[in-house]
Amino acid sequence: MEIIAQRPKSLMKVQFHYCPGCLHGVAHRLIAEAMDELDMRNKMMGVAPVGCSVFAYKFFDCDMAEAAHGRAPAVATGMKRARPDMYAFTYQGDGDLAAIGTAEIVHAANRGEKISVFFVNNAIYGMTGGQMAPTTLPGMKTSTSPYGRDVNDIGYPIRACELLATLEAPYYIERVSLLSPQDILKAKKSVYNALKYNKEGRGFTFIEFISTCPTNWGVDPLKAREWAKENMLAFFKLGVYRDKSKEEGDE
Amino acid sequence: MSQKVLMKGNEAVAEAAIRAGCRLYFAYPITPQSELIEYMSRMMPKVGGTFIQAESEVAAINMVYGASGCGKRAMTSSSSPGISLKQEGLSYIAGAMLPALVVNVERGGPGLGDIQPAQGDYFQATKGGGHGDYKLIVLTPNSVQEFADMAAEAFDLADKYRNPVMILSDGLLGQMMEPVEFKPAKNEEELAELDKQHFDWCMHPNVDGPDRHHHEINSLEIDPKVLEKHVLRLGEKYKEIEKNEVRYEKYNVREDNEVLCVAFGTASRIVKSAITELTKKGHSIGLIRPITVWPYPYKAIADALTEKVKKVIVFELNLGQMVEDVRLAVNGKVPVEFLGKVGGIVFTPEEVVQKIEENL
């Protein structure tokens, strides 16, 4: 019998703790598959974030470090500089990356650190129980924006890809979605590119995943995907925001 | 042949750290330690090392965490307000049991304070500035030579116990120039050997097969029973350090001491000058100078309390933070007096002489 799908080597044989319908598992799998295909596992160092994916160090079967809230890009900087012959990635949520860790991500990107950053944006704080995130949409209700996010009071959602694309140094920046099977296949290709450029030592690569949080949004997984398609994709446009490989004349 | 050079404390400790095998240095500029970061920016490229001027003190200490997690000798430095920002990272480094060197060139505080020498970070350094149960090994130099020598010692201690070590100095030692003699630099083979010694816990290239390990650099233990075990293990380690690593200097400590002084770092130099003056006047005054302020030399102080000692006097450039530890050591046997200076002002030998004479 021919095996056509199996657990990637780069994922541990453990059960994820994620809620039903959560897309972290999909994002993990895409990264692990790309790590396998590019044969990076034995030289890969990952940085797990604080938040829902805090146990990512137990899920990825490569060397892993757990970082303080928001500090993953600084930790990955130290790691990559200490072992330039190895590869490093961070896995971060929207609170981690776009609130408490804004300085770290901006400056790691600006230095052009040769790391990959995987950023999961579901417009809400998951683990702490559904509070407002920097990416919460205008008018969206959360446990700390009970009347809906008021942009006059707290400002607009932060678009991480657009923000980082103002910098000169980043090599590859793309926003993808995990909301449909077709989107996931496209996302797979982007993750593969990011890690390929990482392996080739080309520079800073950044993938933002548009994701959902059925539990804290208070809807079932299918409705969550529909809601995200209708609302999140209007604010967070999918696409490539930087690709220096094109400028360098690669195909 | 040995060669002495005239150097600022800030530069001497940087040079010594490089010789001790530090190839990764991350920091943010702050007075009065700026010569240290400037020295590293000049020298690290020359030895194939990494210098990053980080975006903040917070980022710098987390870069150290990442580099230490890779088993390399990594270092950061700052002055008091910057050290406050590093406390989060220090707690994580201690929790993850990583070796690291942090140099604090203290200045006046609290808040922005000023840029003059002070010793107001004693509590923060010795009692835990960050959250949770952890300890730093804290070394306190009182000369440029000692400041430099402590870099290698600090890295060795950090490696031995997988624990962050702080050199607690101050603006005077950072800025002062004195002759200093350096130990030979570690060569590439020695550095590679150090690297290998960390392979059982650090992140490094793996190969598929039975020897492949999944290394985790981590301080999170969500199961209370597992965390309890981890913190108790740290506690056992701290007991070992207290047993093995107490360092202090006895200066003129004799059976006939009338007064016993306790002072560390810059303050201790001034106390020594005062003791010389008082000796000329026919008095016998002893000084215990803690070199490690954690672990603290409680026993050395207790042992120096002969029948003749009437008072113990603590001299510090703060409001009397170390007095608490000295009281623990003295345990009510004799009164404990205190002379402090704050605001970045250093007491004169005359002021110290006067304080001791008042207590004779």
User: Tens digit of pLDDT for each residue in B85-120?
Assistant: 999 999 999 999 999 999 999 999 999 999 999 999
Angle between helix axes A181-199 and A24-37 (nearest 10 degrees) is 40
Q: Which positions in chain A touch B71 (Cβ < 8 Å)?
A: 82
Q: What share of chain A is helix, strand, coil (3-state, %, to 5)?
A: 40, 20, 40
* pTM confidence score: 0.97
Q: Do A71 and B59 touch (CB under 8 A)?
A: yes
- Please, which pLDDT band fits residue A248 given cuts at 50, 70 and 90? confident
| Residues of B whose CB is below 8 A from A58 | 216
- Mutation test of the interface with chain A: which of B23, B51, B65, B85, choosing the one with the most A Cβ atoms within 10 A? B65
Sign of CA dihedral B114, B119, B125, B130: negative
pLDDT of A251 above 60: no
For chain A, give the mean pLDDT. Answer: 96
Q: Is residue B181 within 8 Å of B15, Cβ to Cβ?
A: no
- pLDDT computed for residue A250 by the predictor: 66
Asked whether residue A4 carries a pLDDT value surpassing 90, the answer given is no
Helix or strand run (H / E) with residue B323: helix B323-330
In this structure, the strands spanning B177-181 and B216-217 are unpaired
Answer yes or no: is pLDDT of B285 > 80. Answer: yes
Q: Which ipTM value was assigned to this complex?
A: 0.97
CA distance A248 to chain B (A): 27
What's the confidence (pLDDT) of residue A223? Answer: 97
Bond from prior residue into A221 cis (ω within 30 degrees of 0): no
Cβ distance B24 to A78 less than 8 Å, yes or no, reads yes
Closest-CA residue of chain B to A70: B59
Nearest partner of B154 among B322, B16, B35, judged by Cα: B16
Judging contacts by C-beta atoms under 8 Å, the chain B residues touching residue A106 are 55
Calculate mean pLDDT across residues B111-138.
Answer: 96
**Reported confidence tier of residue A1, pLDDT bands at 50, 70, 90:** confident
Residue B275 half-sphere exposure, CB side, CA atoms within 13 Å? 25
Enter the DSSP assignment of A60.
Answer: B
- Asked if the C-beta of B313 comes within 8 angstroms of chain A's C-beta atoms, the answer is no
- Write out the two tokens for A33: 């598959």
- Which chain A residue is nearest to residue B91, measuring alpha carbons? A68
More confidently predicted of A3 and B150 = B150
- Please state, in angstroms and as integers, the Cα–Cα distance from residue A136 to each residue in A142, A149, B47, B241, following that order: 8, 7, 47, 49
Q: Which positions ≥6 away from A22 have C-beta within 8 Å?
A: A52, A126, A211, A212, A213, A214, A215
Reported as a single tens digit per residue, the pLDDT across A144-182 is 999 999 999 999 999 999 999 999 999 999 999 999 999
**How far is the CA of A233 from the CAs of A121, A164, A212, B257, in angstroms?**
11, 18, 12, 80
Judged on CB neighbours under 10 Å (0-12, 13-18, 19+), B247 is middle
Return the amino acid letter for B201: W
Residues of A with a Cβ under 8 Å from any B Cβ are: 12, 41-43, 45, 47, 54, 57-58, 61-68, 71, 74-83, 85-86, 103-104, 106-107, 111
**Chain B residues 96-125 with CB within 8 Å of chain A:** 96
Q: How far apart are CA B64 and CA A10, in angstroms?
A: 27
**In chain A, whose CA is at the least distance from the CA of B73?**
A82
Could B218 and A47 be called an inter-chain contact, meaning their C-beta atoms sit closer than 8 Å? no
User: Chain A contact for B223, CB < 8 A?
Assistant: no
What pLDDT digit, counting tens, does each position of B209-250 carry?
988 989 999 999 999 999 999 999 999 999 999 999 999 999
